Structure 1
């Protein structure tokens, strides 16, 4: 492929006012990218539509041809319900959402018997940590069943007041971490008896319309 095609794609998407969430190239020559609207604190959510995907597709087809980038297929889509979290602003944006975090290294001795020392993956509600740059997962029930009442340096218990005045304090299992410890993080789809359903930020209809815009280009 000619030149730095990743930079070409990123600059084109940003120049059109979108955020490049993810970008990959398969062995078969497919370029697949995910776009979203940029976010700022206090700003209302905007959702990617099929028109946005088609607009980016048309522009990239022209740019990649001019730049001499060789590819077989181009696919542009919306983030979907399992959107990756790659930057600090993503964590800020999705604070309070259910997130799956995979650590770079097993939790090791910090587990102190609360979870397997080889465990890397955790699922819970994303919260800010107690220090700048730190984050916390309030682990959900599936994780909670595996944890005991003890404390550990990394997997610990935190006590908070109940929701109602006079209610008893509740014990919440938490995982504290920093972004440099994370190998991968993404929004966790919520599963109910009818199957997967999206979180509050991406209606199913909008997701279905935006995903799967494909355009072929013979190499």
Structure 2
């Protein structure tokens, strides 16, 4: 691996869209794959290696600021940069009426979807520098019935991303927000149980489509 190696940091990489993006980027990028699920990361690593690519696995919880600080310092010490950051990590709460929201579930979603993003942006921004590219994935559910927890915390994440995007228009890094099409992921299955998954876009197809837009 040379100093010219392109580095892609993917938070939420063990399954779903994050894993599909990681596979699509290999072997053009060395992938730093972050997720809590060690088994999922190891399976992803096997698929990346089968394509002739390489990955660094980081089985970490993005809601742990110390872990994220250690990760970013390690990336800096090893490569000095991140060329592309794809933030797909998300916590999906069960659909529930607003007047039945559980406080513990609310704070778990808030910590993962919003607070962790507010911590990661300052940590990753120096690694991206002026020429790097950060990508966030919108799923606009704010204000829809039964989506109170997910909709509100996802909207908070997107608000941070949009502010950062405007703030860096002239200075970099580039910050993009894209909206994936419905995919047969565990996230969607939790919201739409019993849905015909055959009519949805595969994660691989959607990963390639989104990367083509970027």
Shorter-chain TM band: under 0.3
The structure with the largest alpha-carbon Rg is 1
Higher relative contact order (CA 8 A, sep 6+): 1
**Whose strand fraction is larger, Structure 1's or Structure 2's?**
1
TM-score by length of 1: 0.25
**Whose helix fraction is larger, Structure 1's or Structure 2's?**
2
